[in-house]
């Protein structure tokens, strides 16, 4: 699995967009990029994943750089409920083995 | 559909004892993974079971073991508990493929005194 680097913390205002960056410069061609988040006192939850193309779902968008060495998770309108630790993971093989880094703690201000 | 359930939710043990934690995956899921979360080390992968076979293993000592039953339910066991084993133990289930979503349970909080 590729090593990922994320900022330790970020702040956002409620109802504004949030861009969470992730660097994965050693990513291989078969590695998927996954994002999970962990709300306080809960287990992690899936957010989004992608391989090469940008992806959208009801929770967020994932923008992947053309060289795939970085990606950005986009929350279009942050809410207080989005305050969590966001983890970026990059790896191939089955997702039963997820290698988590330290993640980014997102604070959302009202 | 019911989510991943873990029992017990909280546990207090003393050094030297052993403990067994249980995880019931989402119906239809054949993969169950276990993770340890501590403030110092973060989320660390312990092992994964798929169709009753250990498919992946993390870098933990042999005191940490697990098994999976034919109904996909899984247990993990920690023998000869140490103070450093105090942690939140999380279980996740999935279908077992390359991009399958992992669904995590609420965890079992283990305190070793």
| 8 A C-beta contact, residue B6 and residue B103 | no
**B16: phi > 0 → left, psi -120 to 50 → alpha, else beta; which?**
left
Q: How many CB pairs under 8 A join A and B?
A: 73
What average pLDDT does range B8-35 have in this prediction?
97
From CA B68, how far away is CA B32, in angstroms rounded?
8
Shortest CB distance from A32 goes to which of B4, B33, B99? Answer: B99
Query: Is the CB of B101 less than 8 angstroms away from the CB of A95?
Result: yes
**What tokens appear for A47 in the block?**
């957010």
Q: What is the pLDDT of residue B1?
A: 67
Residues A10, A100, B79, CA angle at the centre, nearest 5°? Answer: 130
Q: Does B90 touch chain A (CB under 8 A)?
A: yes
Q: Which helix (H) or strand (E) holds B58?
A: none
Shortest CB distance from B48 goes to which of A97, A101, A102? Answer: A97
Higher pLDDT, B111 or A94: B111
From CA A31, how far away is CA A25, in angstroms rounded?
12
Residue A29: is its pLDDT beyond 90? no
Shortest CB distance from B55 goes to which of A36, A96, A98? Answer: A96
SS3 content of chain B, % helix, strand, coil (to 5): 5, 55, 45
Query: Is the CB of B104 less than 8 angstroms away from the CB of A98?
Result: no
pLDDT, one tens digit per residue, over A40-70 is: 989 999 999 999 989 999 999 999 999 999 9
Strands A9-13 and A104-109, by their bridges, are: parallel
Residue A99, min C-alpha distance to chain B (Å): 7
Q: What is the pLDDT of residue B72?
A: 95
pLDDT, one tens digit per residue, over A58-110 is: 999 999 999 999 999 999 999 999 999 999 999 877 788 888 989 999 999 99
What average pLDDT does range B73-86 have in this prediction?
97
From CA A41, how far away is CA A87, in angstroms rounded?
16
From CA A52, how far away is CA B92, in angstroms rounded?
26
Query: Is the CB of B99 less than 8 angstroms away from the CB of A103?
Result: no
**B42: phi > 0 → left, psi -120 to 50 → alpha, else beta; which?**
left
């Amino acid at each position: 699995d590729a090593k990922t680097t994320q900022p330790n913390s970020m702040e956002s205002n409620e109802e504004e967009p949030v861009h969470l960056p992730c660097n994965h410069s050693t990513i291989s061609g078969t590695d998927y990029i996954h994002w999970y988040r962990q709300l306080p006192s809960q287990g992690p939850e899936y957010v989004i994943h992608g391989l090469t193309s940008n992806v959208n779902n009801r929770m967020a968008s994932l923008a992947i750089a053309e060289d795939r060495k970085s990606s950005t998770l986009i929350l279009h309108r942050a809410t207080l409920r989005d305050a969590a630790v966001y983890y970026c993971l990059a790896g191939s093989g089955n997702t039963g083995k997820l290698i988590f880094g330290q993640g980014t703690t997102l604070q959302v201000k009202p | 559909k019911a989510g991943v359930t873990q029992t017990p939710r909280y546990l207090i043990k003393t050094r030297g004892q052993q403990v067994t934690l249980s995880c019931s995956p989402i119906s239809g899921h054949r993969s169950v993974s276990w993770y340890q979360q501590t403030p110092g080390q973060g989320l660390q992968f312990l092992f994964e079971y798929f169709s009753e076979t250990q498919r992946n293993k993390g870098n933990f000592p042999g005191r940490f073991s697990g098994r999976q039953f034919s109904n996909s339910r899984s247990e993990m066991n920690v023998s000869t508990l140490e103070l450093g084993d105090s942690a939140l133990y999380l279980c996740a289930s999935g279908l077992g493929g390359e991009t399958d979503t992992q669904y995590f349970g609420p965890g079992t909080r283990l305190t070793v005194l």
